[in-house]
A and B are shown apart, each in its own frame.
Chain A
Amino acid sequence: DQQVKQNSPSLSVQEGRISILNCDYTNSMFDYFLWYKKYPAEGPTFLISISSIKDKNEDGRFTVFLNKSAKHLSLHIVPSQPGDSAVYFCAASENSGYALNFGKGTSLLVTP
């Protein structure tokens, strides 16, 4: 049973435009959410996170939005750059334990 779902396996965006990656979760006990970026043959790289007490967190070109009532979060990348092309994983954890539950990932391609 997948508790974190990324329903779009892939996304293609033109350079300079906004990329929006979506993530849904089913476990209401999750209270911390993270986005990771992964290039081939490398481990996931931490991008940005958000606690359940917030609904938005921004870091440079990256913004994460959390909608707890809908159990939905999204990652916005503005403006998108070709170097952003990678697989993006959404992850969530419960405060009681720190195991991360990952989605299956969304492959983002930013075209020039």
Chain B
Amino acid sequence: GAGVSQTPSNKVTEKGKYVELRCDPISGHTALYWYRQSLGQGPEFLIYFQGTGAADDSGLPNDRFFAVRPEGSVSTLKIQRTERGDSAVYLCASSPTGHEQFFGPGTRLTVL
């Protein structure tokens, strides 16, 4: 079956712009996670959805970051007023149980 898909695979934007990153989880997975990975680091947790609601958003770095999952499937991570420090690979994962998480290929965001 299809795995987690993320679009776009690459996004280049200018400082101050708004970006949206999309995640399509594995069908039937109720849990969805966003992480971001900077060079030389492991993935860092951002937010976790159980169904449509954000069960844990403690990893969002500030109020420029927001994520939604309106129908309990596809999720969008939104970043306002992007900064150069936001440049990273943004990873989405889904899970049927909450323990083993299955990751997508990521979106590489570059803020110039």
Chain B residues lying within 8 Å of A103, measured Cβ to Cβ, are 42
**Looking at the complex, which one of A34, A91, A104 makes contact with B41 (CB distance below 8 Å)?**
A104
Binary contact track A55-88/B, C-beta < 8 Å → 1, others 0: 0000000000000000000000000000000000
Find chain A residues with CB under 8 A from B55 CB: 97
Which of chain A's residues 1-33 have a Cβ closer than 8 Å to chain B? 4, 32
Quick check: A49 and B100 within 8 Å, CB to CB?
yes
Contacts of B56 in A (CB 8 A): 97-99
A102 cross-chain contacts in B, Cβ below 8 A:
35, 42-44
Chain A residue contacts of B31, Cβ below 8 A: 98
In the complex, what distance in Å separates the CA atom of A104 from the CA atom of B41? 5
Of all chain A residues, which has the CB nearest B105? A43
How many inter-chain residue pairs (CB < 8 Å) link A and B? 62
Per-residue CB contact flags for chain B residues 25-61 toward chain A (1 = under 8 Å, else 0) read 0000001010100001111110010000001101100
Find chain A residues with CB under 8 A from B58 CB: 99
Chain B residue numbers with a CB within 8 Å of A97 are: 48, 55-56
Structural contact, A105 and B106, CB atoms closer than 8 A: no
- B43:A104 contact, CB within 8 angstroms: no
Q: Tell me the smallest distance from the CB of B54 to a CB of chain A, in Å.
A: 12
Measured CA separation A49–B35 after assembly (Å): 19
Q: Is the CB of B105 within 8 A of A101?
A: no
Give the distance in Å from the alpha carbon of A34 to the alpha carbon of B45 in the complex. Answer: 15
Q: Which of B11-19, B75-83, B91-99 contacts A (4 or more CB under 8 A)?
A: B91-99
A46 to B43, CA, bound (A): 13
Question: How far apart are the CA atoms of A32 and B58 in the complex, in Å?
Answer: 20
Q: B53 to nearest A CB, angstroms?
A: 14
Interface residues of A (CB under 8 A from B): 4, 32, 34, 36, 41-46, 49, 89, 91, 93, 97-105
Besides A46-B100, A98-B99, A104-B42, 18 new A-B residue pairs in contact (Cβ under 8 A), listed by A number = A4-B42, A34-B99, A36-B103, A41-B105, A44-B43, A44-B91, A89-B43, A91-B42, A98-B31, A98-B95, A98-B101, A100-B35, A100-B45, A101-B45, A102-B44, A103-B42, A104-B40, A104-B41
